[in-house]
Amino acid sequence: MSSSNSDHQQHNQDSTTHFGYKTVEKNDKASMVAGVFHSVAKQYDVMNDLMSFGIHRLWKRFTIDASGVRPGNKVLDLAGGTGDLTAKFSQLVGKEGKVILADINSSMLNVGRDKLRDRGLVQNIEYVQANAEALPFEENTFDVVTIAFGLRNVTDKDKALRSIYSVLKPGGRLLVLEFSKPEHELLNKAYDFYSFNILPKMGELVAKDGDSYQYLAESIRMHPDQDTLKGMMENAGFEQTSYKNLTGGIVALHKGYKF
């Protein structure tokens, strides 16, 4: 093989990434993901309840309990979307604390802001449109960073983890709540059937958008499994990393510290 040919292949690998099961140019992925979330933002909460039979609320509550957030803390809820975690953190950090709901997608951010304002949560919450790969915050700013169901949509996950590491205070912790790999083969098969046969149909019926939900199902399968993600967190500098499988590993909560 000539070197120019292998260079060309190398260029292709360097410049492409996954969008669900499709291979796309890295530069295009962000706008394609944006399209999905602009499309589903209004129906996002309803669909989450339907898709997970309401269990996403328990997964999020588990995350909040594991976060150790205390009064006065500064918390970054990254890819915070429609604000479920932010709402709870806002109550936990109190008047002295601050929660920043950050999302790369303006539609999701607007839905989140409207929802939280309707609930009277205004005093200690800020909204920032931000890309997880290059967070616009000073180093050593946050006590806790959470990213729930957002990391799998990030193009360069390693870069995002390094960026999160940098904005955490020493002693701070990261929690990643994300779909993962079911522990048992039977559960895996049932879950596959559900994701690829039922989910897109639900998306079609409820959100009038089967394609976006097909992408969401595919993006879950392309996401690193539990041990791979743990290793990626360690490569980014996190210590005492661990994960806990929820609902048989359909979802996992990863945790790591910056010391």
b/e burial code for range 18-45 (CB count within 10 A of at least 16 → b): bbbeeebeeeebbebbbebbebbbebbb
3-state class (DSSP) for residue 258: coil
146 is in an annotated binding site: no
The closest alpha carbon to 80, from 158, 142, 162, belongs to 142
25 near 185, Cβ under 8 Å?
Answer: no
Non-local (6+) Cβ contacts of 95 within 8 A are 123, 124
236 is in an annotated binding site: no
131 is in an annotated binding site: yes
Strand ranges (DSSP E) for 97-250?
Answer: 98-103, 125-129, 142-148, 168-179, 239-246
Length of the chain: 259
The closest alpha carbon to 45, from 119, 99, 124, belongs to 119
103 is in an annotated binding site: yes
Q: Pick out the residues of the known binding site.
A: 82, 103, 131-132
Q: Pick out the residues of the known binding site for S-adenosyl-L-methionine.
A: 82, 103, 131-132
